[in-house]
Structure 1
Amino acid sequence: MANTGFTIWFTGLSGSGKSTLSDAIQERLAARGRNVEILDGDVVRTHLSKGLGFSREDRDTNIKRIAFVCSLLTRNGVACISAAIAPYREAREWARKEIGNFVEVYVKCPLEVCRQRDVKGLYKLVDEGKIKNFTGVDDPYEEPEHPELIVETNKESVEESVNRIIAKLEELGYLEPEEMNEDESKVVTDRLAALGYL
């Protein structure tokens, strides 16, 4: 099962750390020789879901499109990473059924910490009234009830969260347990440092 495709489905508020973790996990999986693809929420909306708004119906359509691509990649042995807010449980459960080899990771972070980070300046625009129906502020975020893993990015370093995710993938049989040798460890550490995560 270790060479089987799977999807890591990150869900959490804007600014919780989904994209950061996606990049770091991609590095770790690539170091193990896995083919990896990231479907980042912002990139998907620019290309795959251009024209969709932020109504519940449009958000669900966006998630279904991501899930469809993830299912194709997963079926073909790719390690797929989805990094979209995916605020509604029903849509995430639909994605779980569609994809099959599905590992839901709840990137948990308090709203006030996400606001402080505000890496994209979105919360500022919400406060200025320029963005409406923003998840976690004036539109709901439904926390996962039974995710495979919860990482708390306000309490854990990127490296700690990544190590826990890798350990979960090994536990579930999607990765062969292995110790990284010094060369692999240095490659990953150097890459994370270059990306500004260390």
Structure 2
Amino acid sequence: MKLPHQKGMVIWLMGLSGAGKSTISNLFEEQLNESGFFSMQLDGDEMRKGLNYNLGFSMDDRAENIRRAAETAKIIASNGVIVTCSFITPLNAHREMAKNILGDLYFEVFIDCPIDVCEQRDVKGLYEQAHNNTLKNFTGVSSAFERPTDPDLILYTANSTVQQCCNELHDAVKNRITDHA
């Protein structure tokens, strides 16, 4: 079934842990639903509890995590659903793979937040564990995070509210999600 008033797409939110990906995704989905759009979220933490439970944090496993997420998002978006994905997506090669899988459905959003702000927001204590070497392969500390080369949108979360970021995101995608046919 194709949803009559909207076009499917994948909004890929990526950035460091604590940058605001999931928070923005949650509020954005609420706004979409209140406006009559049907949307779904794919969150990196949730995917690792289920579909990707068997993957670790080596670069090969990170790539497979992104591949599975992109393939899942493609199936959903191809049915007219707006899918918001929240994944760290640390390397440009991972982003390129997701973009290749998703094609025209893909809209890349870099959630840009300085690592010191991410560390302040870290309610799980992950950055502290990474600095103490009790958590290995942690993105931004002991594992690489490459700044994206050409995102469709950059949201600066250190000095913007979640609402401001969601408004900016909505403005950026509104013409892509509405089916004017």
The TM tier, using the shorter chain, reads over 0.9
Q: 1:23-58 deviations in whole A, cap 9, x for unaligned?
A: 010011111211111111000001011121111000
Q: Report deviation, 1:79.
A: 0.5
Call closer, same or farther: CA 1:165–1:175 in 2, change over 3 Å: farther
Which residue, 108, 116, 125 being the options, matches 1:104? 108
Map 1:30-109 to 2 at 5 A: 30-100=33-103, 101-109=105-113
Counterpart for residue 131 of structure 2: 127
Q: Report deviation, 1:151.
A: 0.4
Task: Kindly provide the amino acid, as one letter, of the partner of residue 136 in structure 1.
Answer: G
Which residue, 91, 116, 122 being the options, matches 2:120? 116
Counterpart for residue 196 of structure 1: none
Q: 1:65-116 deviations in whole A, cap 9, x for unaligned?
A: 0000000011000110110101011111111121121111100000011011
SS in 1 for 2:177: coil
Contact 2:70 2:102 in 1 (8 A): yes
SS in 2 for 1:72: helix
The worse-fitting range, judged by mean Cα deviation, of 69-78 and 114-123 is 114-123
Contact 1:74 1:99 in 2 (8 A): no
**Aligned sequence identity (%):** 39
Task: Kindly provide the amino acid, as one letter, of the partner of residue 6 in structure 2.
Answer: N
5+ unaligned residues in a row in structure 2: which ranges? none
Task: Kindly provide the amino acid, as one letter, of the partner of residue 34 in structure 1.
Answer: F
SS in 2 for 1:16: coil
Counterpart for residue 195 of structure 1: none
CA distance in 1, matches of 2:178, 2:161: 22
Counterpart for residue 190 of structure 1: none
Q: Report deviation, 1:123.
A: 0.8
TM-score w.r.t. length of structure 2: 0.92
Task: Kindly provide the amino acid, as one letter, of the partner of residue 63 in structure 1.
Answer: I
SS in 1 for 2:40: strand
Q: Report deviation, 1:2.
A: 6.3
SS in 1 for 2:26: helix
CA distance in 1, matches of 2:129, 2:26: 26
The worse-fitting range, judged by mean Cα deviation, of 117-126 and 46-55 is 117-126
